[in-house]
Structure 1
Amino acid sequence: MPTFSRMNELPPAFAAWFAARGWSAHPHQKAILARRMAPAQLLIAPTGGGKTLAGFLPSLHELASDTHSGLHTLYISPLKALAADIRRNLRAPVEEMGLHIRIEDRTGDTSHSQRRRQRADPPHILLTTPESLALLLSYEDAPRIFAGLQRVIVDEIHALAESKRGDQLMLCLSRLSTLCPGLRRVGLSATVEDPAAIARFLARHPDPCDILHADPGPDPDIAMLETGAPPPWAGGGGRYAIPAILAQVKRHKTTLIFHNTRAQAELFFHALWLANEDTLPIGIHHGSLSREQRERVEAAMVAGELRAVVCTGSLDLGIDWGDVDLVIQVGAPKNVKRLVQRIGRANHRYNAPSKALLVPANRFEVVECVAALQAVRAHDLDGDPRPPGPRDVLCQHILITAAAGPFDAGALFAEVTTAGAYAGLSRAEFDACLDFAATGGYALRRYDRWQRLQQTGGKWHLRDPRAARQIRMNIGTIVDTDLLKVRLKNSRGGTPLGEVEEAFAATLTPGDTFLIGGQIVRYEGLREMTVEVTRRASGSPKIAVFSGSKFATSTQLSDRILAMFQQERWPGLPAHTAEWLALQRDVSQLPRRDRLLVETFPHEGRAHSCIYGFAGRNAQQTLGLLLTQRMEQAGLHPLGFVATDYATLIWALDPVTDPAPLFDAAAMRDGFETWLAGNAVMKRTFRSAAVIAGLIERNVPGQRKSGRQATFSSDILYDTLVKYDPHHLMLRITREEALKGLVDFGRIEAMLERIEGRIDHMPLPRVSPLAAPLFQEVGRVPIKGAGAERLLAQAAASAMAAAGLS
């Protein structure tokens, strides 16, 4: 390979290509090229800074300099659409420089014939996803496919590092490093809160990782959108701001309007379209829409045909839309890092500020939006420490390895522990996963269906080689919710519109209407696991309960809000919100980080308690379940509760006079254990982990299980293991997952540790200003206990008295 007198200079052909466009290479692009032999590099560069081209420059240089046959560079993206976008953008410099480099993508959308050809004759650069890479590694010819591989580029690495997809990817990279000694890794991201942690995640343990920081450029132009009307007290739609948002859309070329959930996006798009008197071309994009509809919107965006797109996390990541010059975030962002990522969608030009506007959906979200603005300006990103690598993913990886051929357990253990998240894995923990993959574990080893691996001559291999097909059909860590396809009836083949959750479809009767893709459709019936609909232009639609993420406010953002409450005045807040907080301080007090505020007050004949834990929605929901359980034991007759990210409101027949005993940490932990053992959360979590680990198969040759079938299978397995093998590996994994997932008990414990028993009890004569919005929140949870029974008895006694029977 030729060398240059100054390593940070571009090769002549590359320099000429940059010059022909009037460009000059950025310092970080030259730096990554100069240090291309490093075992691992993490490049942190702002959106529009050319970080993707920087990641490919060493590969393009090496492929232009040498005659390389076969696969040279593997590019991994979390999104299929991003891989396709990169292919389009990368081919331009390759073709214009006259480089003979084959670039192809391989995702779930790639045809079977093309995937087969790629295995036989890999391109120089392959753009793919974590799942497709895992599938390639499951084939017996993986060593031949990856022979000669020099570099792996992981784009948007921060997004992968936050999920099990990233853990699976790093296990795959550990396998690749065994197949391809000397393999170099490059990670690319615009938003990294802890570069050292991401570097450890990326690098092959214990190899070092170079961290390259590009010039971050100017701070974004970000503010709160001024609206004619103040936000409502509760709700999350942001529809009050539609006139102001439409005015902004008219002033800009292309606007992305982000929402936190798919259902909110559908509602907002429908209301926006009804208010769109100028018939501006506006689209909608989210993960529950059909692939065809998403691709139409993406193509229209690339062509500059849309003035706005209402969207969710499906457009969070780095697809280069070019003409996007404004981002609007409707609803509090919940997470500063996610907000920064979304802001970066506007203005893909280096050293030009991105422009974004925040629209709080309700009065309290005004405070959160201001806190988020402050965090962005302070470059204070949020994020939690990475936990150890999940063992359900490791179980699947062991099966994938076996599908590719016999393996030595000791060698595989050594390989797995080079993945950063698994560096602390003990041999005993690995062996437990291997035993599970081989036999299903103690209680299941008598069943042939889970007898999958056996050891011969010191090596482990599949008992039945035909099992490899089933393993490949179930690769991946994304566990589908119970989704049903939605198709238009009476159209040729049934035009696909998207998907809705099975639980929602079960509530529909013929004639019901609901929103999908921004249009109202009429439910006609269910046929072969497909929801058939017809178009309907009017009516009051039901709203599909989409499985889009319902984010919880991050700990760091909650801390900023609590710090803001302690200010004497709030010049950064709109007058209506500052007056609201001042009134709260006058009639009660504002929550503090080191103390727990509990307000009690009567309202409409019920005793209410409001607990301001600021622990995030999942934890506050769990807190409501635990506290009502404790109140039931204390004879206070709780009737129900509702939770937000910041508080839990409980109503009961009898008042809480001393809240301190309710928050006894040991008693609450015991109550949590009892509640968790018999709760549906455990079965739901078990199903997810069991599917990933390979205990339950989503797909079998010739058919796919419905959500109900998979749930039925997992419920039987869960009950069996609880009864006969309570220490089974899958039950241990389930508990770990439940604690940090749906119930988020860790944040409750962190709150209890933070306050150290310091509780401010404020008995009030009426509802406080801060508690008032909770009365308008949806999602109330009734408690079926002694309180409900007492109300029924009172109602029966009243009815009998009225009838003269008492």
Structure 2
Amino acid sequence: MATQSLLPNAIDDWFASRGWNVRRHQREMLEAARAAKHALLVAPTGAGKTLAGFLPSIADLIETPSGGLHTLYISPLKALAVDVQRNLLAPIEEMALDIRVETRTGDTPHNRKVRQRRRPPQMLLTTPESLSLLLSYSDSATLFAELKTVIIDEVHAFAPQKRGDLLNLGLSRLQALAPNVRRVALSATVADPHAYAQWLAPGGKTDNVSIVRGDPGAEADIRILLPEDRVPWSGHSGMYATEQVMEIIAAHKTTLIFCNTRSLAELTFQKLWKANEAQLPIGIHHGSLSREARRKVESAMARGELRGLVATASLDLGVDWGDVDCVVQMGAPKGASRLLQRIGRSNHRLDEPSEAILVPGNRFEYLEARAALDAVAEKELDADAFRPGGLDVLAQHLMACACAQPFEEAAMLAEIRSAAPYRELTSAEFARELDYIANGGYALKAYDKFKRLTSEIDEHGQTIWRVSHPKFVKQHRLNAGIIVEAPMLDIRFRNGRKVGRVEEIFAASLSTGDTFFFAGMSLEVLSIKDPDLLVRASAKAARIPSYMGARMPLTTHLANRVRGFLADRSEWAAFPEDVEEWLTIQALRSRLPKANELLVETFPHEHRHYMVAYSFEGWNAHQSLGMLLTRRMETAGLKPIGFVANDYSLACYSLERVRDPAPLFSPDILEHEFVDWVEGSHLLKRAFREVAVIGGLVERQHPGKRKTGKQVTFSTDLIYDVLRRYEPDHLLLQAAWADARTKLTDVGRLASLLDRAQDTMVHVDLPRVSPLAVPVLVLIGREHVAQGTVDDALLIEAEALAEIAMRTD
């Protein structure tokens, strides 16, 4: 079909005026829309994915003008919604089209939100959480009656997670309100398009989904930065390269410096600022900054006023700032897909190579960086694992639906099953879910505060569910949301201006007069009183805030590539001399594991006995295994002292020698010690706190008052103890167990590790520490220290330990 027959003249003329042609994948997206098919577009960054998603809507609104809401755009990030609005408005204005485009996120003023429901724009840009709230209003059926298209951007960022569960349930509700609505998903980094097409399609049926693939773009220009061609033994931040990173900023128009955590972003900004002798304008952006601070930085970037911006995952999705011509990744990327996504922020054009520089923090991170670089070059992405939808998310969604209007039980079950994550939901599970929302469950049914829904039988014999009291509608809207952060305090100056937020656990470590870095400033504590941390600007040296958020896991795909490097000597010649020497002496003094082997070393050091397992299953799985192994070692009389882990290995240390590690790694550890450990540790309580908030059992906010983190934790801990004692099979305990097994303990990778250990474990008993053990052993006693300023004692300790390990006598 010719392009001209697909596009109105106004769009054709606009393309011609810019000297552009409609790309093949954009034309195929238009063809899918004309055929009323859902569509998944997988195309590299800079290929015009967002325009491809919106073109059919713009064309339709030109041909058939509408005064109601026509297109809903769903973004995983507030910043992305704002950025898309900015970039979408330009072509609409240049074509002189009467199409209103607005955003609706948690940052949108209340009066605008009210007006948007009464007089919606033709295109509304929002997030999964804001969509869920819109669906909780009684006028939602009217608001979405004319909806034609839902565009889901960066679908890989949330589809396999709880936010994806909430969004898919929202899509099913929209499909019920507007049966002909078309679903469109966009991504640059999908390894398995068919799996995502199943997630996207109503009922998981992909026969009406067009999978559109974009043409490959220019090869990325990626290199690893190694000052003086040396790689540190320890660390994870890449701070040793600060001077060189500042030189990179000076040599480019605009550089994005990505960090894996908020703490590292603050530390990196401070180090760069001290090295910024030319006083170049640089900024910082992460999710804990205030809305005003984030907007200020985003606007400065859009105007091309910043030379460098230190950021976290808050900006690694889809934000299009044309002046960015270099991306720096501080520390290891942890995944090929994530690296590709971040690289795409540089030279955001399909036909120009993106420039990226990786700064590994230590020798294992160098191997990881090489693995990610090779994976990107070979276009091998990390596969995502989809799992059944969360029961806590379903409870929140059902409450939202009931807030809008009473629903009929059988019809709602059919609707829920049309959401891909819940297509296997049984009638019994659904009845149990409704019973939970209606009375809190068996152990809590005596309390009216948990009786949020009530049911009745209508004249047709159907069961109808409705909200039991209007107060629960307000309660739901105040507390809805999937993102459950650690308890936070607002950072404010004495004039009331909010700077951002820090976690309560970090604030508890502060006293009046202490200083900490935040938003690029040194702040002195004046007072601490829930919910505020009162501060003033200071010139004193300061510490870096710590955050309890989950670590980015090393993907299985990259882990396998790193194992391959260790096993294949032919790769070593391309490594820096010190890395090659490190591996060569390891092979001489001990051994390097083959790709499928689990190497376990034992050796004495400074009056202790060490056992180090090189399993490459990620920090979460190693932390879990460390807990379990030390429990077994205690039972075996080995007198364990502790353990330490990174993404690559686990080290346990004890007073007695481990002569045979095999019995310690037997798979039955998951049947016995694992259950006892999780139930007796903080992990299940932590998971329960999250599902209790998401599932609506515990409020985060009352009208006019927000609960402190301590109050929420006290409430959830109290309910947790009651349920554990009187209703251990409660629906939310079941949901908490599912989270603890997957997100907190990474039990899947743990099981894989233990299975591999049975057939492939190789035990090497050594007289002293091995070269491969140095990076993890240096962490002992330092796990929480490395968040702050560079610790000279840590570097001295690493070099001293390395000197012992690298001796060949």
Task: Bin the TM-score by the shorter chain.
Answer: over 0.9
Q: Distance in 2 between matches of 1:555 and 1:567?
A: 18
| Residue 529 (structure 1) aligned with residue 531 (structure 2) | yes
Question: In the TM superposition, what are the counterparts of 1:203-352 in structure 2 within 5 Å?
Answer: 203-205=201-203, 206-207=205-206, 208-228=208-228, 230-352=230-352
Tell me the residue number matched to 2:578: 576
2:797 maps to: none
1:298-326: CA deviation from partner (whole Å, max 9, x where unpaired)? 11111111111111101111111110000
What letter corresponds to residue 97 of structure 2 in structure 1? Answer: L
SS of 2:318's equivalent? coil
Q: What does residue 777 of structure 1 align with?
A: 779
> 1:4-47: CA deviations, max 9, x gaps?
87676432211111111111111111211122133310011211
Q: Residue 804 of structure 1 corresponds to which residue in structure 2?
A: none
In structure 1, which of residues 471, 478, 501 is the aligned counterpart of residue 476 of structure 2? Answer: 471
1:488 corresponds, among 489, 493, 516, to 493
For the residues of structure 2 that align with 1:131 and 1:779, how far apart are their CA atoms?
40
Q: Is the 8 A contact 1:401 1:407 kept in 2?
A: yes
Opposite residue 473 of structure 2, the aligned amino acid is A
**Is the 1:8–1:34 contact (alpha carbons within 8 Å) kept by the matching residues of 2?**
no
- Determine helix, strand or coil for the equivalent of 2:228: coil
Map residues 42-191 of structure 1 onto 2, 5 A cutoff. Answer: 42-191=40-189
- Deviating more after overlay: 84-93 vs 253-262: 84-93
Report the equivalent of 1:13. 10
Q: Secondary structure in 2 aligned to 1:385?
A: coil
Post-superposition CA distance 1:480-499 (Å, at most 9, x none): 2111111223xx32x32211
Q: 1:240, 1:47 → 2: CA distance?
A: 31
Shift of 1:591: 2.5
CA distance 1:5–1:620, change in 2 (3 Å): closer
Q: What is the DSSP-based 3-state SS (H/G/I as helix, E as strand, rest coil) of the residue aligned with 1:232?
A: coil
Do the aligned partners of 1:257 and 1:308 also contact (CA within 8 Å) in 2? yes
Q: State the 1:350 CA deviation.
A: 2.1
What residue identity is the alignment partner of 2:609?
Answer: A
Match of 2:629 among 608, 627, 630: 627
> CA separation in 1, counterparts of 2:551 and 2:292?
25
Determine which of 20, 32, 57 is the counterpart of 1:35.
Answer: 32
CA distance in 2, matches of 1:15, 1:345: 28
Q: Distance in 2 between matches of 1:141 and 1:10?
A: 34
| Conserved? CA contact 1:256–1:309, under 8 Å | yes
Superposed CA deviations along residues 187-212 of structure 1, whole A, max 9, x for unmatched, are 11111111111111111112531100
3-state SS of 1:325 partner: strand
Q: CA separation of 1:762/1:382 partners in 2, compared to 1, >3 Å: closer, same or farther?
A: same
Task: Check the 8 A contact 2:691/2:732 in 1, yes or no.
Answer: yes
Aligned pair count reads 775
Change (3 A) 1:465 1:371: same
Aligned-residue Cα RMSD (Å) equals: 1.6
Paired residue type of 2:57: S
List aligned pairs for 1:494-513, cutoff 5 A: 495-513=497-515
Answer whether contact 1:641 1:780 (CA < 8 A) is retained.
no
TM-score, L = length of structure 2: 0.94
Kept in 2, the 8 Å contact 1:260–1:549? The answer is no
Query: For residues 399-410 of structure 1, what are the structure 2 equivalents within 5 Å?
Result: 399-410=399-410
User: 2:356 is matched by which residue type in structure 1?
Assistant: A
Between 1:229-238 and 1:680-689, the stretch displaced more is 229-238
Deviation at 1:163, TM superposition (A): 2.2
Aligned to 2:390: 390
Higher mean C-alpha displacement, 678-687 vs 105-114: 105-114
Q: What does residue 589 of structure 1 align with? A: 591
Report the equivalent of 1:199.
Answer: 197
Shift of 1:160: 1.8
Q: 1:41-66: CA deviations, max 9, x gaps? A: 00112111111111111111111111
Distance 1:757 1:472, change over 3 A: same
Q: 1:212 is paired with a residue of what secondary structure?
A: strand
CA contact (8 A) 2:603 2:769 kept: yes
Alignment of 1:597-612 (within 5 A): 597-612=599-614
- Residues 38, 210 of structure 1: 8 Å contact kept: no
The Cα shift of 1:547 comes to 4.2
CA change 1:669–1:780 in 2 (3 A) is farther
Match of 2:801 in 1: none
SS of alignment partner, residue 240 of structure 1: helix
Residue identity matched to 2:638: L
Q: Report the Cα distance in structure 1 between the residues aligned to 2:427 and 2:732, rounded to whole angstroms.
A: 18
Q: What is the CA–CA distance in structure 2 between the aligned matches of 1:552 and 1:143, rounded to whole Å?
A: 41
Deviation at 1:228, TM superposition (A): 2.2
The letter of the residue matching 1:25 is V
Residues 656-691 of structure 1, C-alpha deviations (whole Å, 9 max, x = no match): 011111112114530111111111110000000111
**Following TM superposition, by how much is the alpha carbon of 1:704 offset from its aligned partner in structure 2, in angstroms?**
1.1
**AA partner of residue 705 (structure 1):** K
* Contact preservation (8 Å) 1:262, 1:547: no
1:581 maps to amino acid: L
Calculate the TM-score normalised by the size of structure 1. Answer: 0.94
3-state SS in 2 of match to 1:228: helix
Letter in 1 for 2:573: P
The 3 A distance-change label for structure 1 pair 251 and 756 is same
CA contact (8 A) 1:228 1:244 kept: no
The answer as to whether partners of 1:27 and 1:214 remain within 8 angstroms in 2 is yes
Aligned letter for 1:647? S
Seen in structure 2, the aligned counterparts of structure 1 residues 753 and 775 have a Cα distance that, compared at 3 Å, is closer
Gap change, CA 1:22 and 1:406, over 3 Å in 2: same
Give the Cα–Cα distance (whole angstroms) in 2 for the partners of residues 231 and 168 of structure 1: 43
The alpha-carbon deviation at position 518 of structure 1 amounts to 2.0
Q: Report SS of the residue matched to 2:145.
A: coil
Secondary structure of residue in 2 paired with 1:119? helix
- 1:268 deviation in Å? 1.3
Residue matched to 1:462: 467
Partners of 1:673 and 1:757 lie apart in 2 by 24
- The gaps in structure 1 that reach 5 residues or longer are 783-806
Match of 1:791 in 2: none
The question of whether the paired residues in 2 share the 8 Å contact of 1:331 and 1:361 is answered with yes
SS of 2:768's partner is coil
Q: Distance in 1 between matches of 2:309 and 2:780?
A: 27
Q: Unaligned regions of 5+ residues in structure 2, if any? A: 785-809
Letter in 2 for 1:370: R
Q: Tell me the residue number matched to 2:544.
A: 543
Deviates more, 1:18-27 or 1:662-671: 662-671
1:343-742 alignment, distance < 5 Å: 343-456=343-456, 457=458, 458-489=463-494, 492-493=495-496, 495-539=497-541, 541-569=542-570, 570-742=572-744
Given that 1:14 and 1:97 are in contact with CA atoms closer than 8 Å, whether structure 2 keeps it comes out as: yes
Kindly state the Cα deviation for residue 774 of structure 1 after the two structures are TM-superposed: 1.6
Q: Hey, what's the Cα distance between the residues in 2 that align with 1:106 and 1:147?
A: 18
What percentage of aligned pairs have identical amino acids?
A: 50
* Separation in 1, partners of 2:121, 2:384: 38
d(CA) in 2 for partners of 1:412, 1:434: 11
User: Is the Cα–Cα contact under 8 Å of residues 524 and 532 in structure 1 kept in the other structure?
Assistant: yes
Question: 1:471-519 deviations in whole A, cap 9, x for unaligned?
Answer: 1111110002111111223xx32x3221111011111111211111122
SS in 1 for 2:59: helix
* TM-aligned CA deviation for residue 616 of structure 1: 0.4
Alignment CA distance shift 1:184-1:7 (3 Å): farther
What is the alpha-carbon distance in structure 2 between the residues aligned to residue 200 and residue 7 of structure 1? Answer: 32
Confirm whether residue 22 of structure 1 aligns to residue 27 of structure 2. no
